[in-house]
């Protein structure tokens, strides 16, 4: 049975669909299957230059019966924080993630993914994200420490991106 199509296109005020072109990050790990039954994520840029998203957790993301698996929730938060860092102008990778699971997330729920990039300190870029349900309840929140890529690491990344384009 085909899972229902979630409304990930409903724009929030101040949101614009995210355009992957022009970014070193060219595709999504967690939402690479836009018609899959596990995860569907659609990213948006905000008027303030930040990043937000809508995410849907389908039957393939089940952990506890009828609810999203914590690893699926953490993966969405991780990717959103990393993309937010790149959108903010920092070529980053994660070095530490801390996730709090606040409230179980029923399968089939569309949540907002809110991100905030904190002030960079040298190569360190702290980022926060939350999964917020339709009624405003926070289901999970995460803090990540990301570091900027430099030198040889950035050159290697550019080579990989050039090969897949």
* Residue 1 is assigned to a structural domain of this protein: no
Domain count, the chain: 1
Which 3 state secondary structure label does DSSP give 150? coil
Question: Does residue 4 belong to any structural domain of this protein?
Answer: no
pLDDT band for 49, please (50, 70, 90 cuts). confident
Please spell the DSSP secondary structure of 39-65, one letter per residue.
Answer: EEEEEEEETTS-EEEEEEE-GGGB-ST
CATH of the domain at 26: 3.10.129.10
Quick one: average pLDDT of 16-44? 76
What string of DSSP letters covers 63-77? -STTBB-HHHHHHHH
Residue 8 within a domain: no
Q: What is the pLDDT of residue 7?
A: 64
> Mean per-residue pLDDT for 113-117?
97
pLDDT, residue 1, reads 42
CA count, 13 A, side-chain hemisphere, 76: 31
34 strand-pairing partners: none
Structure-token pair, residue 124: 């360190």
> Taking a C-beta distance cutoff of 8 angstroms, is the pair 66, 105 a contact?
no
Q: When comparing pLDDT for 9 and 49, which is higher? A: 49
pLDDT of residue 154: 59
Task: Compute the distance between CA of residue 101 and CA of residue 69 in angstroms, rounded to an integer.
Answer: 10
In the predicted model, is pLDDT for residue 3 greater than 70? Answer: no
Of residues 13 and 159, which shows the higher confidence score? Answer: 13
Model's pTM, two decimal places?
0.85
- Structural domain containing residue 56: 15-164
Asked if residue 110 is part of any domain, the answer here is yes
pLDDT value for 165:
47
> What residues have CB less than 8 Å from 112, skipping those under 6 apart?
12, 52, 53, 54, 131, 132
The share of the chain scoring above pLDDT 70, in percent, equals 78
- The reported pLDDT for the residue numbered 59 is 95
Is residue 9 in some structural domain? Answer: no
164 or 65, higher pLDDT: 65
Spatial separation of the C-alpha atoms in residues 12 and 125, rounded to whole Å? 27
Q: What's the whole-number mean pLDDT along residues 126-139?
A: 97
| 23 part of a folded domain | yes
pLDDT tier for residue 23 given thresholds of 50, 70 and 90: low
Q: Is the model's pLDDT at 58 over the cut of 80?
A: yes
Q: Is residue 103 part of a domain?
A: yes
Mean of pLDDT values over 137-143? 98
Considering the domain boundaries, does residue 35 fall inside one?
Answer: yes
The DSSP symbol for 136 reads S
């Amino acid at each position: 049975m085909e899972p229902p199509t979630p409304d990930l296109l409903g724009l929030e005020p101040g949101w614009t669909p995210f355009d992957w072109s022009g970014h070193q990050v060219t595709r999504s790990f967690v939402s690479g299957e836009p018609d899959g039954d596990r995860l569907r994520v659609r990213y948006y840029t905000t008027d303030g230059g930040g990043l937000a998203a809508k995410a849907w957790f389908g039957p393939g993301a089940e952990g506890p019966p009828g609810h999203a698996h914590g690893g699926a929730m953490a993966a969405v938060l991780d990717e959103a924080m990393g993309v937010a860092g790149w959108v903010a102008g920092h070529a980053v990778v994660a070095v530490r993630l801390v996730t709090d699971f606040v409230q179980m997330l029923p399968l089939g729920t569309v949540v907002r993914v809110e991100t905030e990039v904190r002030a960079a300190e040298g190569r360190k870029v702290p980022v926060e994200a939350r999964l917020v349900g339709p009624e405003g309840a926070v289901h999970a929140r995460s803090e990540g420490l990301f570091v900027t890529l430099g030198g040889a690491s950035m050159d290697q990344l550019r080579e990989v991106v050039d090969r897949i384009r």
